[in-house]
Amino acid sequence: MKALILVGGFGTRLRPLTLSVPKPLVEFANKPMILHQIEALKAVGVTEVVLAINYQPEVMLNFLKEFEASLGIKITCSQETEPLGTAGPLALARDKLIDDSGEPFFVLNSDVISEYPFKEMIEFHKSHGGEASLMVTKVDEPSKYGVVVMEESTGQVERFVEKPKLFVGNKINAGFYLLNPSVLDRIQLRPTSIEKEVFPKIAAEKKLYAMVLPGFWMDVGQPKDYITGLRLYLDSLKKNSSPKLASGSHIVGNVIVDESAKIGEGCLIGPDVAIGSGCVIESGVRLSRCTVMRGVRIKKHACISGSIIGWHSTVGQWARVENMTILGEDVHVCDEVYSNGGVVLPHKEIKSSILKPEIVM
């Protein structure tokens, strides 16, 4: 089986992290986002993954070469010269996706984190005999999204309603598809939307089916949702009794800590924290609802909550960092400095407090 991952563009919503690496390589729970997906695809028998990309393909490929070998899966790029929307990339990668087997192929949005129930999706696709399957997820506020209206018992999709003013349902497109090769005949090589142009036509022919995603779902393409997504991901690890979760008297709630990280005396860590490789957390530090990326040093008695600390940054003694502060790579927050929602570009030193959310160039 094959899969196409829609990687797309510049990852502007996750700046300043994406100024250092392409968005799919930004770590989520101590692993590059895209690797969560590739590992899940490999587990259900996918042998080749095609990345649809229009930005820095060489960076992506060089990075993923090592995983090709360790996972035993072929990873290639299909590079757009202009943005092709969500369907155009399928037409561009047509020759890479079609083979003699006639098997369906997966299409994934690269920003989505979930438990990836691909095995169930394959079974569902075989059972309904239609041309295309998509995953849907239930949301509390469907008016912010495109809603999928479907026949509950069979999953047959009737129509799509974009940002409905009146309630028509609470299921939205989760960004995972399983498509027969014949779907490619419906797509022209031009900028085009799979949700707005391709799927409604398949639904009109009663050949599109939707399966409700079990477990959690989050599009982690922006900081607020990244932090929420980490909580949901760690909750899922807890539910499945994962050995990845840290334990100890200094741990509160769900926390993952890379085995190479060092944590000092008298710290209190959690809930919902990820600490990356090579980090040094000095004594008396308080961390909650945050991600601390590779190579960071947090000095004594600092307090960090609801924030993302980029690679190789340092947070000084008695500093306080909170309210969706995002530090880019190699940012140095001096001792006793306060950051309230500062978004700091890479390679900066912060000597005075950031009292309200702002971007520090």
Find where tokens 């369907």 sit. 87
Cα distance between residue 238 and residue 270, in whole Å: 14
The list of the chain residues with pLDDT below 70 reads: 9-11, 55-56
Dump pLDDT digits (tens) for 270-282: 899 999 999 999 9
For residues 37 and 126, the answer to whether their CB atoms sit within 8 Å is: no
Q: 71: which DSSP letter?
A: H
What pLDDT score was predicted for residue 62? Answer: 80
Going from the N-terminus, what domains does the chain have, and what CATH number goes with each?
2-219 (3.90.550.10), 227-359 (2.160.10.10)
161 within 8 A of 168, measured Cβ to Cβ: yes
pLDDT of residue 20: 85
Would you call 95 helix, strand, or coil by DSSP?
Answer: helix
Identify the CA nearest to 346 among candidates 332, 325, 358, 356. 332
Pairing of strands 132-138, 171-179: antiparallel
Which burial class, exposed, middle or buried, applies to 101 when counting CB atoms under 10 A from its CB (0-12, 13-18, 19+)?
exposed
178-208 residues labelled b (16+ CB within 10 A) or e (exposed): bbbbebbebbeeeebebbeebbeebbeeebb
What confidence score (pLDDT) does residue 342 get?
94
> pTM of this prediction?
0.88
User: Measuring CA to CA, which residue among 337, 296, 275, 322 is closest to residue 349?
Assistant: 337
> Could you give the residue ranges of the DSSP H alpha helices within 220-280?
223-239
pLDDT score of 65? 81
| pLDDT score of 56 | 65
Quote the CA–CA distance of 18 and 7 in Å, as a whole number: 13
Q: Answer yes or no: are the C-beta atoms of 198 and 186 closer than 8 Å.
A: yes
Looking from the CA of 173 toward its CB, the CA atoms found within 13 Å total 24
Which pLDDT score is estimated for 322? 96
DSSP per-residue letters across 319-347: -EEESS-EE-TT-EEPTT-EEES-EE-SS
Query: Residue 13: its pLDDT value, please?
Result: 75
Compute the CA torsion angle 112, 117, 123, 127 (nearest 10 deg).
-60
Token pair in block for residue 24? 């799919």
pLDDT (0 to 100) of residue 38:
93
Six-digit token string for 337: 């400095």
The whole-number pLDDT of residue 262 equals 96
